[in-house]
Amino acid sequence: MQAQNVFDVSKDVQIINSALYSKPKNINSLINVVCHRSNAQRQQILNEYFNVYKKSLRDELKDHLHGNFEEAMMSLFYSPADFDCYHLYKAMKGLGTNEDTLIEILATRSNERINQIKERYLAIYKKDLVKVVQSDTSGFFRQVLLKLLEANRSNNPYPDQKDCNDCAKNLFFAATQKKEILNDTFLYVFTQKSREELALIAQVYYEWYRKTLFEVVKTSFSGDAKRILKAIVYALLSPSEYFAYRVNKAVKGLGTKDTMLIRILVSRDEIDMERIKRYYKQLYKVEMFDDVKNDVSGDYKTILLALIGR
């Protein structure tokens, strides 16, 4: 949620500090300030807080808050690239890998953001993200992730009809061939073509073969490979719809997928929250605000609803 009034960084740090140290804590004041500032403004707040109080605001938030509310509040003070790095690191730390997080982040970020992520990951964690992904994943799923990390997707907004026709033909042909041809063809189209090019390829494919790219991926691939290819198409052609689907997945079923929910609401806050809400209503016939409201509680609920907005 963008700033709704004049930004005064000195005033904001005073309000935040008072909110943390008042007894009881003034959580509403804290949320009202932080959730009505842009990410760039929150970075200024971090710096000013240290200048005034000689303490890290991040450390103060850790000391005074707890649980999912702490996680959500802390998340708002990461820069966008650092926030992605944090979740990628968590996804591959220790035993096992959270493939779902890798898919959501790497399949939906721009070339520029991916390059920022690689640079910041090395600076923060002293590790090469490409090498970490390479050692933590396998098979065709790994191939797709590594291609996405190359950040070589075309930015061409004017697709060439003949090239897109050829790509549609190649995808159709590849779906009947051995695995190596299948993988190479889909890898090229899904990781190298621009949003506009992929949209035209999808249109041509449907006109000629009466199948969507989702359907051909579903029948030609399985497991994580299928999930990441579907995510690429979904996120490129209709990103707000994709994230509406992800929010619904986070709040439906047994228990709330809190990490996913926080990550989406924070990362999309200044990008397309209003469009996500419209798609959510269209897809699920209920307001996203109400679904989240009914699924979480306490101060955690208050901060998430402040991010979503009515």
Of 37, 64, 91, the last residue of a domain is: 64
Backbone dihedral region for residue 67 (phi beyond 0: left; psi -120 to 50: alpha; all else: beta): left
Residue 95 is given by DSSP the state S
**Nearest to residue 247, comparing CAs of 261, 257, 234, 259?**
261
2 pLDDT more than 80: no
Mean per-residue pLDDT for 32-46?
A: 97
Domain around 119: 80-150
240 and 281 Cβ atoms separated by less than 8 Å: no
Amino acid code (one letter) for 192:
Q
One domain, residues 13 and 45: yes
One domain, residues 106 and 166: no
274 and 232 Cβ atoms separated by less than 8 Å: no
One domain, residues 298 and 244: yes
Collapse the DSSP code of 123 into the 3-class scheme (helix H, G, I; strand E, B; otherwise coil) and give the result: helix
Mutual angle of helices 273-284 and 298-308, in 10-degree steps = 100
53 pLDDT more than 50: yes
75-119 per-position pLDDT tens digit: 999 999 999 999 999 999 988 899 999 999 999 999 999 999 999
What span, in angstroms and rounded, lies between the C-alpha atoms of 117 and 119? 5
Query: Using alpha carbons only, what angle is made at residue 129 by residues 127 and 135, rounded to the nearest 5 degrees?
Result: 95
142-154 per-position pLDDT tens digit: 999 999 999 999 9
Name the CA radius of gyration of the chain, rounded. Answer: 21
The residues, ordered by sequence, that sit 6+ positions from 199 with a Cβ below 8 Å of its Cβ are: 159, 236, 237
CA quadruple 277, 283, 286, 288: dihedral positive or negative?
negative
- The gap between the terminal CA atoms of the chain, to the nearest Å, is 11
> 176: domain CATH number?
1.10.220.10
**Nearest to residue 134, comparing CAs of 119, 151, 112, 149?**
149
**Nearest to residue 84, comparing CAs of 49, 60, 115?**
115
**In-domain check, residue 189:** yes
**In-domain check, residue 75:** no
pLDDT at 5 (0 to 100): 63
**In-domain check, residue 230:** yes
Residue 126 is given by DSSP the state S
- In angstroms, the Cα distances linking 130 to 37, 47, 154, 189, 307 are 33, 31, 20, 21, 32
235-291 per-position pLDDT tens digit: 999 999 999 999 999 999 888 999 999 999 999 999 999 999 999 999 999 999 999
Residue 278 is given by DSSP the state H
One domain, residues 253 and 205: no
User: In the structure encoding, which two tokens stand for residue 221, read together?
Assistant: 């691939």
What's the number of domains the chain is made of? 4
pLDDT mean across residues, the chain: 96
Amino acid code (one letter) for 273:
M
Of 115, 150, 185, the last residue of a domain is: 150
**In-domain check, residue 70:** no
What span, in angstroms and rounded, lies between the C-alpha atoms of 205 and 210? 7
**In-domain check, residue 155:** no
**In-domain check, residue 48:** yes
What span, in angstroms and rounded, lies between the C-alpha atoms of 156 and 159? 7
**In-domain check, residue 156:** no
pLDDT at 94 (0 to 100): 86
231 and 107 Cβ atoms separated by less than 8 Å: yes
One domain, residues 117 and 176: no
**In-domain check, residue 71:** no
